[in-house]
Amino acid sequence: MGDNLYEYIFKSQVTGLNLTPASTASDVIKEYNNRNTLTPHIETLVDDQLIVFIPFTVSVKLKSILLGIDGGEQRPSAVKIYSNTPHCPDFDQLEGSVCLQDMSLESTQEDDIARQPSLTKEYPLRVARFTNVYSIALFFPSSVGRARSRLYYVGFKGETLAPHKENQDRMQIAASNAGDTPIQHLKQQAGGNVATTSNYAA
């Protein structure tokens, strides 16, 4: 389905929202040979919603996404994929946006048997929608257990296009600006009426 694009991910600018303090979004960006390792991984803090923002150092044509997720209660049940946002979007911004692809990640018994002992599964993308991509935002809206989400690996396969220095400049500027303004994530706690405000910076 194309070449592995690990070396073209702008790893230092990978960020996420709703991560535990011990989690760093770039922990899931591993070399292909380490795709099934259990550590490091990332987990959500407040609930099961998770955003991971992944920029590239060149424009790419994506053919598939690889996700490392297990079969437990913390398995994300779906992912919505957005492209070419200049920085990590927040939850409110994604609610008002149309994703390029919405995929169920629910596992079947056949899937689990076929993947053992592998954590990672490759999901084909609608290539026509991902032909000139410089960043990807992954929104995991829920998990199987509806409490927390856990992610072990994110990878991509596809093709590189002509390098664009503007991509790196754009991401560096966006990252520095984002660091000046904490992102607010307001969540209504289950079983109570107290809203929690959390600032996340992976």
Sorted by where each starts, the structural domains of the chain and their CATH numbers stand as 3-199 (2.60.120.470)
Q: Provide the residue count of the chain.
A: 202
Q: Where are the alpha helices (DSSP H) in 49-152?
A: 91-95, 109-115
> CA-CA-CA-CA torsion for 118, 81, 107, 24, nearest 10 degrees?
50
114: Cβ contacts below 8 Å, ≥ 6 apart:
none
Q: How far apart are CA 4 and CA 20, in angstroms?
A: 28
Per-residue pLDDT tens over the stretch 173-187: 555 555 433 333 434
Q: What is the pLDDT of residues 48-99, one digit of tens each?
A: 999 999 999 999 999 999 999 988 899 999 999 999 999 999 999 998 899 9
